[in-house]
Every structure is written in C-alpha cells, then in structure tokens.
Structure 1
C-alpha cells in the first residue's frame, strides 16, 4: 500500500514536487536543460545543511561508544551469563557518563521523514493525479525518471544512460571505498572475523541501491554520499576516536 495515497501525505508530496519544479523554473535561464538535475542537487545540499546537527550528534555518539568500549566489554565478560544484569549495568554505565545507547540511532530516525519525502517525489511517476513533471526532465539526454535496471529490462539502454547512471554508480562506489579506508569503525576485538567484512560491504550498499532507483534519486544518493564523507572527516577531527 502506498502511504502517499493518504490525503495529508499526498498533499506533502504534491507541495514538495511543486517546490522542486519552481526551483527548476528559476534555474532554467541559468542552466538550461540541466535545471531540474541541478534543482535536485541544490535541494539535497539544503537538506544536508539542515541535518548538520544530526551528523554532529552521530559523531559524538560514535566517540562515546569508542571511549566506553573497553568498559562495555568488561561488563559483557562479567555478566554474560546474566542478560538482565548486563542490561542494567550497561544502562547505568551510560547514565553515569551522561550518554545514551540510542544517541546514534535517534538522529537517523529524525531525518527519516525528510529523506523519505524526497525519495517519494523521485520514485512516484504520478503526483496529484498527474504525471510527475519533474521526472520528465533529463540530464544529458537521460530522463530523471529512468533507472539502469529499467533501461535494461525495457531495452532502452543507450550510451547516454549507461554513461550518466553508470558514472553515478561508480562515483557512489568510489566514495564508499574511500569511506571504508578513511573512516574504519572501531570494532570489538572479540567480534567474529566476518563482522569487519560485513561492515566494509555495507559501505557499498548505496551503490547497489543506485542501480535500481531513478536518475533523480541516484543524484540525491551521489551528493549525499560525497557530503557525508566530507562531513564525517571534518567531525572525526573535532571528535576523534580514542586510540
């Protein structure tokens, strides 16, 4: 069931689409046919600017988890046969440190409505009972509503589609590799060996998603991954992990 079929959410979807189209019209005299794609990039940057406090909160939470990791491991070893006591002691440790074990996940929940609304605009072929006019625009001849998998399944793959969408997927994968190399998470030494490989593979999940979503959403993903890497590098300097 489509949640955006409900009137309040349908109205939000329509208003957001109209705002993007208005921004596209504003940018057209300056950028011509690339105005809609640039509008997606501009909106993505605005969203990331608004969510900077979320990134700061996540960096602080990561630093706290890394600092408390040795003490948490000690608690796990001491109370591993008593899960209830382990939970109480873990929560007490966080309280004593003025932190919360949910500090890293709550910011993600806070940004979900904003990100979900943007994705809905990019993924809905019709809005307000009319064709989604935003997806009728193109970038270098590739419609914003086309995806790599759609082009392959419908036989509409051409050089422009492969170059633009394939290029975005490669950019996202490249940023994922840089993230894996430059921002290695502090893993529990007692964790299974496959944990490190799984965490590394997660860095490339966005590139996999980009294979299936429309070009507009792929643009959003590319800008977001680049912004996130740059922001995390800056915040890692401000909130370094203990060595």
Structure 2
C-alpha cells in the first residue's frame, strides 16, 4: 500500500535529476528539503529535551525519595511536569513523527523496484559508480584498490567525520547527566554504526545517510547549544 508514496518520491527525485545534472545531488537536495519540512518537529523535540534536562535533578531526587512507593512517585512526577507545563514524552513524540518520512526515503534508496517498475534512481551514478551498487559488489568487480572503491572510501570517511562530531556531542551531553556507566560507554559509539550500514547498502542509501546525519549534527549544534540549554 506504500507503493504510490514510494513511486511519487522516486519520481520527484528523478525529476530533480535533470536540472541538477546528478541523481546524487537530487537525493541530497530532496533530503535537505524533507529535513527543512520537519524542522518544526525538531525544534519541538529540542524544547522537550531542554525541559527534560532542566527537570532531571528534581526527577532523580523524587525517585530517590519515593522509589519504594511507585504510586506516590507517579503522583509526584505528574505534579512536577504539570507545574512546569511539560510532558515527560515531549522530546520523544516529534522524533516518532519523523520516522515515517525517514522510512519512505530509506525504502526508496534501497528498493531495486518500486510499484512493479525498476527503480530508475539506482541506474544513475556518482563518479562513475552506479547508485544501486554496493561496496562488496564494487570490491568483487573492480578490486579494493580501484576508482569505484575510492568513491565508497570517500563516503565512509565523510560518514566517520560526521559520526566523530556527533559522538563528541553525545559524550559532552551525557557528562551533564546522571547515566548508567554501560550507557555512557555504548551511546557515543552508536553514530559510527552509519559507516557499517553504508557498507552493506546501495550507494544511493549511503548518500542519503551522509546528508541526513550531517544535517542532524548541524541541527543539534544549533538547537542544543549551551546558551539555549541553560535557558
């Protein structure tokens, strides 16, 4: 039942390819356009996250005080959020609302066929490498030391750079909060998973991952900057 949505999205990106002269550029532009459309949700999420951080010490205090009385703890937490005109899930709902958009975009970039027709997006290339090509197939066909493999290597390096920036921000953010030690160790490593994902997906999906993760890093740098967090 999602075929019409996927077909519309693929046709729109294909239409952008002509004026831009590159399907990869069309994917990047389309990804940015969708992220701009979802920006109000990101702003809401940032506001909810700042509220959660501001109330975190008081929430910890209540949990320590009423941890053995779940019903009293629930009432106290409800009263706290009501008094602050906030919700404990305010930072989560906008993120969940974004999920369908990302699922559609992701599916467009990994599907070999859409609505019974070959995905034309994947027939275009980036520096001579078909957007439907995967890293393993490139290495098997052209070798590890080859121009096509270097295109993937460049993509992986850019993803690593974005992941490093995101990881540092996560470490800094977690340093301001009370978190389990295991979580402190795992969370900063998660951004690097995009490199592993890009290594097994078509090049088109890798381009999408690079643009959307770079946008997320820049967006969080602005929306979650210390001056706002302290407000």
Contact 1:66 1:186 survives alignment (8 Å): no
Q: 2:41 touches 2:95 (CA, 8 Å); kept in 1?
A: yes
Find the partner of 2:221 among 233, 236, 241. 233
Check the 8 A contact 1:59/1:239 in 2, yes or no.
Answer: no
Contact 1:60 1:239 in 2 (8 A): no
Deviations 1:89-141 (A, max 9, x none): 22321121111111111111111111111111111101122211110000011
**Structure 1 residue 166: Cα displacement:** 2.2
2:87 pairs with 1:100: yes
CA displacement at 1:197 relative to structure 2? 1.0
Give, in whole Å, the separation in 2 of the partners of 1:85 and 1:166: 55
Q: Which of 147, 151, 171 in structure 2 is aligned with 1:164? A: 151
Q: Is the 8 A contact 2:7 2:114 kept in 1?
A: yes
1:119 counterpart residue number: 106
Question: What is the number of equivalent residue pairs in this alignment?
Answer: 228
Q: TM-score, normalised by structure 2?
A: 0.90
TM-score, reference length from structure 1: 0.85
Distance in 1 of aligned mates of 2:74 and 2:194: 33
The question of 1:14 aligning with 2:2 is answered no
Alpha-carbon separation, structure 2, partners of 1:62 and 1:94? 13
Give the ranges of 4+ consecutive aligned residues of structure 1 lying more than 6 Å apart after TM superposition: none
Which of the residues 188, 195, 199 maps onto 1:200? 188
Residue correspondence of structure 1 range 49-88 to structure 2 within 5 A: 49-88=36-75
- 1:147–1:213 Cα contact (<8 Å) kept: yes
Shift in alpha-carbon separation, 1:239–1:95, aligned structure 2, 3 A: farther
Which runs of 5 or more structure 2 residues have no equivalent in the other structure?
Answer: none
Bigger Cα displacement from structure 2, 58-67 vs 69-78: 58-67
* TM-superposed deviation, 1:239: 5.7
Name the counterpart of 2:205. 217
